[in-house]
Amino acid sequence: MGEAAVDTVSRIEKLFARTPIIEISDSVKVRAAQRAIDKRAPFHRQRNGIDDAILIEVYADVVGAKATGTRFAFITHNIKDFSHPAANNKLPHPDLAVCFSRVRSMYFITLGEALRRVQPEQFADLMIEQEWMEEPRRLTEILDAIDLLFHQVWYNRHQITRQKIERGQTKIVEKETFPVKNHLRRPIQRNVWEGALKAAAKVEKKYGVENLGPWDDFDWGMINGKLSALRWVLGDEWDMLDT
């Protein structure tokens, strides 16, 4: 696998070395920014999609500038940002559909499928043994998932504290004094609680209350487990659930 990887990287570098560099024009940047304002793909999710927006706008420019008879293909594994969200993920997102057609500008989510479409006689058996393999998640996807899970866990804990305050189990004080004999009934300073309320409002606005619970014990266990697992992948110890 090591030699194969080195050979693959070498081939990719040679392709890059002889491929024309496409400059990003100001008009591309403006159109990408307008997508963000309009919340059109790839800005239809809760993430900054400016890099992907620039990519699709550059592609649209190149397709539009070439004479009839030239064919193009846009190939991406990033189905969450570019593919149709409610239909076959081999179809482009409706916001991007204007960039594609059946013949002149095609959309693919695997390189093997694209090559077989362009030259079926040469690539009919290419990469068949690898197509069953799932693509690993990108780091940005993992970080986005961790961010959501983190805030879901934090918000749930915040709601538990809010219930305890409403029931009189936790007191709000102007200034906490130490030592506290019963740590289970430890008071909360007013300024700390006011900050927590503001933070909760921001979380509700960013993610939507419908994505913040409440959950049953099974779902709650799944959320904690996912957060722990993703943190472990990025270097934390198991069961790291601090918020």
pLDDT (tens digit, 9 = 90+) per residue, 116-156? 888 887 776 655 445 555 567 788 888 999 999 999 999 99
**Could you count the other beta carbons within 10 Å of the beta carbon of residue 152?**
22
Question: What pLDDT band is residue 177 in, cutting at 50, 70 and 90?
Answer: low
DSSP code per residue over 3-52: HHHHHHHHHHHHHHHTSPP----HHHHHHHHHHHHHT-TTSSSSS--HHH
Cis-peptide, bond into residue 85, ω within 30° of zero = no
106-115, 132-141, 169-178, 230-239: least confidently modelled range: 132-141
- Token pair in block for residue 75: 């190939």
Q: For residues 76 and 90, give the distance between their C-alpha atoms in angstroms, rounded to a whole number.
A: 10
Residue 168 has pLDDT above 80, yes or no: yes
Give the pLDDT confidence score for residue 129 in this predicted structure: 45
Please say whether the beta carbons of 63 and 72 come within 8 A: yes
The percent helix, strand, coil of the chain (3-state, each to 5) is 55, 5, 35
Tokens 């390189």 locate to 111
What pLDDT, in 10s, does the model give residues 185-235?
Answer: 678 888 889 999 999 999 999 988 888 988 888 988 999 999 999 999 888
The set of residues, in sequence order, having a beta carbon less than 8 Å from that of 4 and lying 6+ positions away, is: none
Q: For residues 130 and 112, give the distance between their C-alpha atoms in angstroms, rounded to a whole number.
A: 9
Residue 161 has pLDDT above 60, yes or no: yes
- Token pair in block for residue 155: 């918000």
Which amino acid, 128? Answer: I
Q: Which long-range contacts (CB under 8 A, 24 or more apart) does 238-241 make?
A: 241/153
188 burial via Cβ count (<10 Å: 0-12, 13-18, 19+): middle
What pLDDT, in 10s, does the model give residues 42-101?
Answer: 998 888 889 999 999 999 999 988 777 889 999 999 999 999 988 889 999 999 999 999
Q: For residues 21 and 219, give the distance between their C-alpha atoms in angstroms, rounded to a whole number.
A: 48
Residue 181 has pLDDT above 80, yes or no: no
pTM of the entire predicted model: 0.51
